[in-house]
Structure 1
Amino acid sequence: MFRFFRQIRQSLLSQNKVSRYLLYALGEIILVVIGILLALQVNNWNETQNLRQVEFKLLQELKTDLEETRADLWSDKIKADEELRHTDSLYQEITINRLNNTPMPISISALFLYQRSALYPKKSAYKSLQAYGINTISNDSLRKNITDFFELHLVRVNDLEKIIKEINEKDYAPYLERVSKPTTTCLECTSLADLFASRSRMSSNLFRIEIPEDELLHLLKKKYMAYSSLRRLYDTTEVKIERLIEIIDAESQNKGS
């Protein structure tokens, strides 16, 4: 084709048809420009399609991570509820005995000290998204919701869980070591393997406090308040996960169609 155009140019020049040659040259330039624009448009379309496929893949991976995080969250909510019930029952036992003027020793499960809820969110898809660039998500609202969830909300959850961990390690553990003695009601357990063979027996491995003090009531209130806040935050987290999954499903349907 280029040889054909070259022959036309040479023919026009040999015939001294300068005006026709200029008109032909202009037309040739226009054709080249059109060709370049078409090539750029095709290239842009291909890049857009590739980004669309990457975005769709990331959204599917993100949905899977959110579903796994939600499953872990459900178990943490159960643990938080157990801690709230246990804390409240201890507080009631102490205060009722005081009101009845019958102070009695109390026993605290080892689980009460060492068990705590801790959310471990799955973040692999979000890290991949950060590597590609957060703007890979074309939906502005979805992009903001994703960023807020991972960079703000989960940080708040983690911070509150750390506070509860510090309460256990810096408040309860020193207090129990100072005012109580380890004991067990599992008299038939002749080995540690037997003692810790089940959750019920492990719960029998208790700290015994002869005379509950006001300091213990204060620690119970402190722990209950922290766990109440965390439990509400867990509920909010579940709502946010459900909402994100709904938006991702709608966006994925658009990207996949």
Structure 2
Amino acid sequence: MIKFFRYIRKDLMGRGKTGKYFKYAIGEIVLVMIGILLALQVNSWNTKRLLKSKEQVYLKQIRISLQNDLESIKDVKEFNAAKVSYIDSTLIVLEQSNPAKYIPAILNYMAFTNEFTVFEPNAIAFENMIASENIDLITNMELRNNLSQYYQIDFVNTTQERVKEKTRQFVDDISPKIGNRQLVKQYTKHDSHLPDISEVNIHSDTQVYSNLLIMNLVIDNQNEFLDTTTEDIKRLLGLIDANLTL
């Protein structure tokens, strides 16, 4: 193509048609400029397409993480429901005044009352995007800001920390109080100088009742926090879906 243009220029100059030559030269320059602009436009379009593609990949990964977060919250709340049920059962057996009957029951319930579970979001996809300095790929400012706010929340060292604290307090308090001669004999086959089971008085211990009631309260607070978090996640998923190209 270049040789063709060069041939035309030589032909026009050789025949002394200077005016036509200049018109042709100007036309050639215009064509070259149009070609450059088209090339730049295509390059810009390709760049935007690649950036959009990367944004979509990150959004899909974050979407999966948020869906997993919803499942994790569901698991925590199911555990909490079971734990509250066992706390209630503990309070019921303590209505009796016979330690020989309520201690075996409490020991069975402690498989749940001694444990706790907390929710922590799966932030790997978002953190990978931040580490790669690609947060600007998310063009929707509302979505970008809401994601940043969500992943900046300290999910553990707030309401959920109280669940851990009060559960451990309950365990530390009740464990020595529940010990008795018959219990040691049952599990170790050894005698001990511990009090007889009839001397155990957990059923009238205000600290035990206080710990059980407070555990119930902090679990309710945790569930409220998780309900709010669930709504936040659903809003984020709605924003992500609105920005995903199917």
- With structure 1 as the length reference, what TM-score do the two structures score? 0.69
Q: Secondary structure at the match of 1:122?
A: coil
State the partner residue of 1:156.
Answer: 155
Looking at structure 2, the residues matched to 209 and 151 of structure 1 have their Cα atoms a distance apart, in angstroms, of: 48
Q: What amino acid is aligned across from residue 160 of structure 1 in structure 2?
A: T
Q: Shift of residue 16 of structure 1?
A: 7.3
Q: Shift of residue 133 of structure 1?
A: 1.3
Q: What amino acid is aligned across from residue 134 of structure 1 in structure 2?
A: I
Aligned-residue Cα RMSD (Å) equals: 3.7
Gaps of at least 5 residues in structure 1 are 192-207
State the partner residue of 2:171.
Answer: 173
Going from structure 1 to structure 2, the CA distance change for 1:72 and 1:216 (only over 3 Å counts) comes to same
2:53 is the counterpart of 1:53: yes
Query: Contact 1:84/1:228 (CA < 8 Å) preserved in 2?
Result: no
Q: Shift of residue 140 of structure 1?
A: 2.3
Looking at structure 2, the residues matched to 28 and 114 of structure 1 have their Cα atoms a distance apart, in angstroms, of: 84
State the partner residue of 1:223.
Answer: 215
Q: Among residues 225, 240, 246, which one is paired with 2:238 in the alignment?
A: 246
2:225 is the counterpart of 1:233: yes
Q: Secondary structure at the match of 2:155?
A: helix
Query: Contact 1:77/1:117 (CA < 8 Å) preserved in 2?
Result: no
- With structure 2 as the length reference, what TM-score do the two structures score? 0.71
Query: Contact 1:81/1:231 (CA < 8 Å) preserved in 2?
Result: no
Gaps of at least 5 residues in structure 2 are 190-198
Going from structure 1 to structure 2, the CA distance change for 1:21 and 1:159 (only over 3 Å counts) comes to farther
State the partner residue of 1:200.
Answer: none
* Cα deviation digits, residues 13-66 of structure 1 (max 9, x gap): 667777665555444333332222211111111122222222333333333222
1:69-84 map, 5 Å? 69-84=69-84
1:47-126 map, 5 Å? 47-88=47-88, 90=90, 105=99, 107=103, 108=106, 109-126=109-126
Looking at structure 2, the residues matched to 128 and 120 of structure 1 have their Cα atoms a distance apart, in angstroms, of: 17
The worse-fitting range, judged by mean Cα deviation, of 136-145 and 227-236 is 136-145
Q: What amino acid is aligned across from residue 69 of structure 2 in structure 1?
A: T
2:127 is the counterpart of 1:135: no
Identity %: 27
Q: Shift of residue 175 of structure 1?
A: 1.5
Between 1 and 2, higher relative CO (CA 8 Å, sep ≥ 6) is seen in 1
Query: Contact 1:65/1:123 (CA < 8 Å) preserved in 2?
Result: yes
Q: Secondary structure at the match of 1:138?
A: coil
Looking at structure 1, the residues matched to 242 and 188 of structure 2 have their Cα atoms a distance apart, in angstroms, of: 59
